[in-house]
Structure 1
Amino acid sequence: MKLKVGLYIGIAVAVIAGGALLAAKGNDAISQAESRKQGVLEAEQKMIVYDKSPGTIIKINAVAGDSIKQGDILFKVKSAQGAEVDVLSPDDGLISRIIVKPGDQLAQGMPVAVVQKTTYYADLYVQEGEIQKLEVNKSVQVRFPYLKRSAQVDGVVASISAAPQFASLRMTRERGQADLSMFLVRISVNSNSDLLPGMTAEVDLDEIAD
């Protein structure tokens, strides 16, 4: 009889200890999930707008997919006075789309092309309890967890929303219900051959010094 009682007590102790260990691991996993913020990598796009006097396009020097540098001549335009005007690239990047064609009449303010810039960005949502770890122009490490080989690049905080994006997102905490305010944080990173728009970008807030 005493043997059975001892056995039951041993089983109970093991179950309680195991439950406590699982709970601790579960809390640790939740904490890690809360500190690791993920967003989708996006490419910055810029519309090139014609800002000179009205004229006619006589030559286009680029096509979609071309890599360009700031100052490259993209278009040649003949003004109404007969002078030739160059339309220059305002940034380094990749031509996403050419909107016009030779012979088109241009007026000031007309869009002529779309350029994909060489900087990417990811938008993250950060709780108000952790937003103090971040500030504009602060450097952060950005990981790309689903690449075949581990990739980590330098990033910088480009902007933080002035007001919470979610004023009353409800979440359960040990002491009941509480409102959780979230802030939109944009992280900029330089593009490279391994990175593509649409990839998952991750920032671990626990690695950022206050």
Structure 2
Amino acid sequence: MKVKTTVYLVLAVLLIAGGSLLAIKGRDAVSQAENRKQGILESEQTAVRYGSNPGKIIEVSVAAGDTVKKGDSLFKVQTAEGSDVEVIAPEDGFVTKIAANEGDAIAQGMPLAVVQKTAYYTDIYVQESQIQKLQLNQSVKVHFPNVKITDDAEGVIASIAAAPQFASLRMSREKGQADLSMYLVRVAIASDDKLMPGMTAEVDLDEIAS
């Protein structure tokens, strides 16, 4: 009888220990997931507008898909007064759209092309309890979990702002509810020919010292 009781006690201890270990591992998994902040890789686009006197396009120097440097000539326009005006690229990037053709008559303010910047960014939302890990101009590693990119990208914290849309957000919990305070953090990422807008970008807060 004593032997049987001892066996039951040992089994009970093992079950409790195993359950505690699973709970700890479960909490660790939740913590790791909470610390991996994901966003979508994005790139700003700039509309190139004509800013001089009315005239006619006499030369189109680029096509959609071309890479350009800031200051490169995109169009040449001959004004009604007979002078030639160049329309230049406002940023480094590549041309995503051409909205005018050679021979077109144009007026001041008309959009002629769209240039997408080669620099990228991603926005992540960080809880109030974690925001102290981040500061402006801080370097961070950016991972791309869904694509086969072996090297992480170098990112820099470009801005940190309170996210008002989360001010009244409520998260259901097993025992009651709690308000969440979130901060919108923008991470600027250097250009890289392996990256494309729309990719999932991830910053692991566990990799950043408090």
Task: Report the CA distance shift for 1:56/1:194 in structure 2 as closer, same or farther (over 3 A).
Answer: same
State the number of aligned residues: 210
Give yes or no for the alignment of 1:197 onto 2:197. yes
Structure 2, unaligned runs of 5 or more? none
CA distance, structure 2, for counterparts of residue 183 and residue 106 of structure 1: 44
Cα deviation, 1:51-103, whole Å, max 9, x if unaligned, reads 12221111101110001111111000001101111111111111000011122
State the shift of 1:208 in Å: 2.2
TM, length-normalised to structure 1: 0.92
| SS class of match (1:56) | strand
Deviates more, 1:94-103 or 1:141-150: 141-150
Task: Report the CA distance shift for 1:135/1:49 in structure 2 as closer, same or farther (over 3 A).
Answer: farther
In structure 2, the residue matched to 1:35 is 35
In structure 1, the residue matched to 2:166 is 166
TM, length-normalised to structure 2: 0.92
Superposition pairs of residues 35-74 of structure 1, within 5 angstroms: 35-74=35-74
What letter is aligned with 2:4?
Answer: K
CA contact (8 A) 2:162 2:182 kept: no
State the shift of 1:151 in Å: 2.6
In structure 1, the residue matched to 2:92 is 92
State the shift of 1:178 in Å: 1.5
> Runs of 4 or more off by more than 6 Å in structure 1?
none
Superposition pairs of residues 37-186 of structure 1, within 5 angstroms: 37-172=37-172, 176-186=176-186
Bigger fraction of residues in strand: 1
Structure 1, unaligned runs of 5 or more? none
State the shift of 1:46 in Å: 1.2
State the shift of 1:176 in Å: 4.3
| SS class of match (2:181) | strand
Cα deviation, 1:81-127, whole Å, max 9, x if unaligned, reads 01111111111111000011122222222211111111111111111
Cα RMSD for the two superposed structures: 1.8
What letter is aligned with 1:205?
Answer: L
CA distance, structure 1, for counterparts of residue 64 and residue 114 of structure 2: 9
CA distance, structure 2, for counterparts of residue 149 and residue 40 of structure 1: 16
Task: Report the CA distance shift for 1:129/1:193 in structure 2 as closer, same or farther (over 3 A).
Answer: same
Deviates more, 1:38-47 or 1:161-170: 161-170
Among all aligned residue pairs of Structure 1 and Structure 2, give the percentage whose two residues are the same amino acid. 60
CA contact (8 A) 1:75 1:86 kept: yes
CA distance, structure 2, for counterparts of residue 116 and residue 133 of structure 1: 32
| SS class of match (2:169) | strand
